[in-house]
Amino acid sequence: MKIYIHKIQKLISKNIEFFLLFILIIIAGTSTQIYNFNKEKTIQNFISLSNNIYFQKSLEHIFNNLKPKYRNISHKVSKGESFNSILKKYEISNKEIRKINTTLSKLKNKNKLKINQVIKFTIERSKNNKISYLLYPVSKTKRIEINRNLKNDTFYHREIVTNLNKKINFKEGRITHSLYKTAENLKIPINLIVEFARVYGFQVDFQRDIRKNDSFQIMYEIFEDDDGKIFDTGNIIFADLVLREQSNPLYYFKYKKSEGHYDFSGKSIKKALMKTPINGARLSSSFGMRKHPIDGFNKMHRGTDFAAPEGTPIMASGDGVIIRAKWCGGGGNCIKIKHNSTYSTVYAHMSKFANGMRQGRRVKQGQVIGYVGSTGKSTGPHLHYEVIENGKKINSQTLKLPSGKILKGKERKLFEIERIKLDVLKSELIVGLK
């Protein structure tokens, strides 16, 4: 008998809060039964019990103790945030932050946090909000795991590296409305859609040249873990854009300084400037005289307007240096790029600039520099694009620029071998042999 009493006492001591709650429930139920004959009085008594400060504090104490001891946090990095500011946001003490930073300072490969990176950490629910665990991203494939040593109240760390496997994907589609939408429906990564448009942007006007039922093929690299999760994309190693039944195949080739996409004959498709610096846009106003949509009188339009949804990426049409990135009055948010001693380009009415775009910044051809908007003197979202040749604004759509290099000698032989390999690989992927 004593053994059973001892067990009951032990059970009650371990679960005292639940036991108190159980007693309170029994009391409330008994009271309800006793005063059931007087409904109004019963309600008044229940309200009185609910409002009783001791009853409320008892419940609060019970439910607080029911909370888990640790709090798991997953924080996505926003613009302007630092590692320290993130931890302070969750009321982590300066002393605790210094301990963490001391551990991180030992790492040679510690990186600067990037927007949309995710930091995961676990906080012990206490007055000091101590961190028991932290997962710090170094790259797409490498993370630092930090754990608290409870014995000496210090931190130790280890690297977690994800091994990636390269895989070749092949997709093809028939264009119904737009290249972008068709490619998106095929679940082609967005960055590769942009790259595809950039590659063909040297020779194709995506607004005027593409017709319904034109088709395309794309073969590209992806890097995934052992579970098949995609971590990154690589190069477009083959592409073909069929316009009005005419094939335009391009092959990726890299040898020493010769890197890029070449046509069937080994001719680089790269030119000084892209034909259009935006994908999927509609030519809404050409270069030349027109009636100004706002001012209402005839005026020379010294650029080309491309209508597109707000937020559509705008690319640099050539390599160069940004010499202006600011508000330009009627042009709204605009960027001007100097490509060489002959050519400059202007991109106006942007909703915003891409991260890091400022005066003096060097940009690459096809790099996203901003996004379509309707800032300044504008009637709707569009890109106003200008090409300046020797200080004079010219029609970008009639501009003829020299083609890129032609592979010769040893480079040409190596390219031919690579082209044949890619054609064989494409055929194997189509028939399912790979």
Q: Are residues 265 and 180 in the same domain?
A: yes
Q: Are residues 317 and 173 in the same domain?
A: no
Q: Are residues 57 and 33 in the same domain?
A: yes
277 part of a folded domain:
no
pLDDT in tens, 232-277: 899 999 999 999 889 999 999 998 878 889 999 998 888 778 878 8
**Average pLDDT for the chain:** 81
What pLDDT does residue 210 have? Answer: 81
Q: Are residues 28 and 123 in the same domain?
A: no
- pLDDT higher than threshold 60 for residue 46: no
- pLDDT higher than threshold 70 for residue 93: yes
Whether the Cβ atoms of residue 284 and residue 417 lie closer than 8 Å to each other:
no
Range of the domain at 320: 282-394
The Cα–Cα gap between 197 and 279 comes to: 6
pLDDT in tens, 3-32: 545 545 555 555 555 556 566 666 665 665
What pLDDT does residue 324 have? Answer: 93
Look up the pTM and report it: 0.58
Whether the Cβ atoms of residue 378 and residue 349 lie closer than 8 Å to each other:
yes
Domain end among 14, 37, 66: 66
The CATH number of whichever domain residue 195 belongs to comes to: 3.10.450.350
Tell me the pLDDT band of 335, cut-offs 50, 70 and 90. Answer: very high
236 part of a folded domain:
yes
CA terminus-to-terminus distance, the chain: 75
Backbone angles phi, psi at 424, to 5 degrees: -65, -45
pLDDT in tens, 213-242: 899 999 999 998 888 888 889 999 999 999
- Residue 115: left (phi > 0), alpha (psi -120 to 50), or beta? beta
Q: Are residues 287 and 390 in the same domain?
A: yes
Q: Residue 265: name the closest of 253, 254, 255, 276 by CA.
A: 253
How many structural domains compose the chain? Answer: 4
Region 161-176: what's the mean pLDDT? 90
The Cα–Cα gap between 333 and 378 comes to: 11
276 part of a folded domain:
no
Longest dimension (CA), the chain: 106
Q: In sequence order, what are the residues at sequence separation of 6 or more whose Cβ sits closer than 8 angstroms to the Cβ of residue 174?
A: 182, 213, 214, 215
Percent pLDDT > 70 in the chain is 77
